[in-house]
Structure 1
Amino acid sequence: MSSAVSRAMPRIAPLTPPYPPEIQAQFDRIMRGAPPLVLFRVMAGHTRAWDKFRAGGLLDPGPLSLRDREIVIDRTCALNKCAYEWGVHVAIFSGLAKLSEDEVRATVQGDAASPCWSPAEQALIAAVDALHHRATLDDGEFAALAAHDVEAQILEIMLLCGFYRTVSYLANGLRLPLEEKAARFPAAL
């Protein structure tokens, strides 16, 4: 099978409409009227996995600003080479989060020292990178976060990194095709 064909269909078939009423109600609540994402349709076909996925409880806004939340999610997905979830979040939330084109590009091609980030955002990116590469924060990285964020926000940052690493595993491992309206990773500079 060619890679183009293997990318066209996920490795586990997604649900197709009509959806069972309880699943349709869940999709309506999460998607607010938009068609359900392929990821959600695959997960919803397996009750235990879908329940565990939704129980992660990170589909709500939480204690971070939308901008900080999206920086964490976009950077985590980029580090995990998850074009699927990165593209969904950039398409839906980057405008609302007031992320510029340079900032969106920097989530993929930059780092904490990229000049587009404020000092607080540099600490955020450094923390995401540390969690990705070492699964921990050293004292300096934790102190840099604590200078800008309260404990609930620091916990949320860690939870988001872990949750979206899991989402990246799912999207990449299932070879989910990119959503039609999703953003695409920026071309190399």
Structure 2
Amino acid sequence: MPRIAPLEPPYEAEIQSQFDRIMRGAPPLMLFRVMTSNPRAWDKFRAGSLLDRGPLNLREREIVIDRTCALNACEYEWGVHVTTFGPAAGLSDAEIRATVGEGAEAPCWSAAERTLIRAVEALHARSTLSDSEFSALSSHYDDAKIFEIILLCGFYRTVSYLANGLRLPLEDKVARFPA
């Protein structure tokens, strides 16, 4: 069990509606059930979330999220994303493993993806991008995408803190970090 008890069904109509919108009919994730146990935290989480499509394509988005979660040792959220979005994003098994292991140095990435992952790694390590890192990122991504990359890194670092700090149990039937 997580450190804070999750909301149990049946859910109030508004919460059920929010779960349905986010989960598209699937049962709500433990993360969402725990967050809804505190209405203020849930409202803040949803207000700051990046659950919409945004300017990145699905592949770029998932690379950012998966690498961010892996760098934060958040197997919970990494597994949810790899399982739910990895196939649709076209991530190969080698690329999925690289989000946990080699990162930007894995030979499986394109030049743009390598630059993207380097930016994620820099933000994780130093909370900033050097001028050369920003310039490299700008050579592949426009301003809207750069904002989204930085926002996703920050948001999924927060999600990692929540999942790890609350000791959320891993969801059933989702990927685990490679050995």
TM over 0.5: yes
Question: Structure 2 counterpart of 1:112, which letter?
Answer: A
Which residue of 2 is the match for residue 20 of structure 1?
Answer: 12
Name stretches of at least 5 consecutive residues in structure 2 with no aligned partner. Answer: none
Instruction: Give CA deviations for 1:21-74 in whole Å, capped at 9, x if unaligned.
Output: 100000000000000000000001111100000001301110001000000000
Cα distance in 1 for residues equivalent to 2:74 and 2:24: 24
Matching residue within 55, 68, 72 for 2:47: 55
Partner secondary structure for residue 89 of structure 2: coil
Cα distance in 1 for residues equivalent to 2:49 and 2:144: 14
Which residue of 1 is the match for residue 150 of structure 2?
Answer: 158
What's the C-alpha RMSD, in Å, of the aligned pairs?
A: 0.5
Instruction: Give CA deviations for 1:125-162 in whole Å, capped at 9, x if unaligned.
Output: 00000000000000111111101100000000000000
Which residue of 1 is the match for residue 33 of structure 2?
Answer: 41
Give TM-score scaled by structure 2 length.
0.99
Which residue of 1 is the match for residue 107 of structure 2?
Answer: 115
Q: How far off its partner does 1:112 sit?
A: 1.2
Partner secondary structure for residue 69 of structure 2: helix
For the 8 Å contact 2:49–2:155, the answer to whether it is kept is no
Task: List aligned pairs for 1:27-176, cutoff 5 A.
Answer: 27-176=19-168
For the 8 Å contact 2:67–2:103, the answer to whether it is kept is no
Q: How many residues align?
A: 179
Partner secondary structure for residue 42 of structure 1: helix
Q: How far off its partner does 1:111 sit?
A: 2.2
Percent of aligned pairs sharing the same letter = 73
Greater CA deviation, 172-181 or 53-62?
A: 53-62
